[in-house]
Chain A
Amino acid sequence: MSMQVCIMTPDRIFWNQQAEEIILPTNTGQMGVLKNHAPLMTALDIGVMLIRTKVEWTSVALLGGFALVKQNKVTVLVNQAESPSTINAEQAEKTYQEAQRQWVEATGAKEKVEANFALKRARARLQLVKKR
């Protein structure tokens, strides 16, 4: 008795397995979903999604999208997804520092928005490797 979790990006199906509990990074904060949740649709912010299978917690960095929950089937549709194995810890740290610096130095609406986006992305990827 668990949920079927399916993470899809435009290029491929990223993840498709059973899980007990998931924590989604929505626009309004972290949100946990257990089995038999009411049908739900939500937008996802750039962040880390945690998945608990019977054995362990896995984390996946999501770069913005949507999540649909219905009848114990969770469908996550995102632009991009990354798992910890593909991220280099040192590089992630460096990218994060750089992104922070850029965010502070950004001027003008467009630059600020781009810097914000890059910062969130770097933070998500860093969180992913740190959790390991």
Chain B
Amino acid sequence: MNEGSVMLGGVRQASQLAVKQRMRSVTNIQKITKAMKMVAASKMRIAQASTEKSRGLVQPFLKLLGDIPDADVEKNVTVAITTDKGLCGGINSTVCRYVRGMSSMYSADEGKEDRLVIVGDKGRAQLTRTHPKKIEEIIQDVGKVRITYAQASTIAEELLKTEYDAARLVFNRFQSAISFKPTITTVLSPNALEKEVEAGGSLDQYEVEGPDRAELLQDLGEFQLASMLYNALLENNCSEQASRMSAMESSTKNATEMLSKLTLTYNRTRQAAITTELTEIISGAAALEG
């Protein structure tokens, strides 16, 4: 730390320097958060386009196979979709809260098994503390370069290996730059799908080309899982950027406020120091004369 060249008014000068240091660091923080906000804004714009396009594929699946949140199955797997990076507001905590809620719902019911698959580092950090035994798999660095359908297919393949009956994807659906709703989408496994269809669903009215309807349903179920997962990843990514944008915006605003307060304090201390110096000089001169 650079000591002041004039050591007058010892304590006051030190605090003047301290305030100046603080002002400098707050200004830097302000610049960084402002830049982060702009980066997040541009990323969000790009993400928004691909997110909206991916919704197109989800619609026919929902119409055909339906979203059955109250499907009564034995083996559940919950897929928590979170971010790898932080400083993005409360979206990861929201997802983890829902996952914890669902987990306590299942553990209250005997004979129901539920496993956890976590996508994203932040989710891992929160959920390994509270539910370490339930975790089946952790997937990181998903959106590092770009989110592709191939990635979603790979995750879907891993999911299918766990032999579940119903998968519940928990993510933040992007609605607008300020609104992201936590969403739970239920995707039945191909086997459970067959059972639901036999119980009589909208699938029955379709003739099936080719010999085996069961095989078709199997493929369809896998395709549905991959597509829903892809959509969920994109939506969460878009929500992440939007949330980061608003978090950085409020951070910049707070930094600006703090800076103005510090400036006032700095000027006050500066003026007080000058006044003290002047008073001492004048009284000293007066004492010499008189």
Residues of A within 8 A of B (CB): 8-13, 26-28, 31, 38-43, 65-66, 68, 70, 75, 77, 79
Contacts and interface: CB of A to CB of B under 8 A. Distances in A.
A8 B219 CA distance: 17
A-side binding surface: helix, strand, loop or mixed?
strand
B64 interface: yes
B-side binding surface: helix, strand, loop or mixed?
helix
A77 B210 contact: no
B259 interface: no
Given A11-B149, A77-B223, A40 B207 contact: yes
A40 to B, nearest CB: 5
Interface string B46-69: 000010011011001100100000
Given A8-B60, A12-B56, A79-B149, A41 B209 contact: yes
A68 B64 contact: yes
B83 interface: no
Nearest to B205: A39
A11 B53 contact: yes
B206 A8 contact: no
A42 B216 contact: yes
Interface string B34-52: 0000000000000000100
Contact of A38 (B64, B207, B227): B207
Interface in B86-145: none
Contacts of A13: 53, 56
A77 B209 contact: no
B56 A70 contact: no
20 contacts: A8-B56, A9-B57, A10-B54, A10-B227, A11-B53, A26-B210, A27-B210, A31-B209, A39-B205, A40-B207, A40-B209, A41-B216, A42-B209, A66-B219, A70-B206, A75-B60, A77-B61, A77-B223, A77-B227, A79-B149
A131 to B, nearest CB: 24
B6 interface: no
A29 to B, nearest CB: 9
B210 A12 contact: no
A40 B208 contact: yes
Contacts of B54: 10-12
Given A10-B230, A77-B60, A28 B206 contact: no
B192 interface: no
Nearest to B208: A41
A1 B60 CA distance: 23
A9 B57 CA distance: 7
B150 to A, nearest CB: 9
A41 B60 contact: no
B56 A42 contact: no
B223 A66 contact: yes
A12 B227 CA distance: 12
B50 A68 contact: no
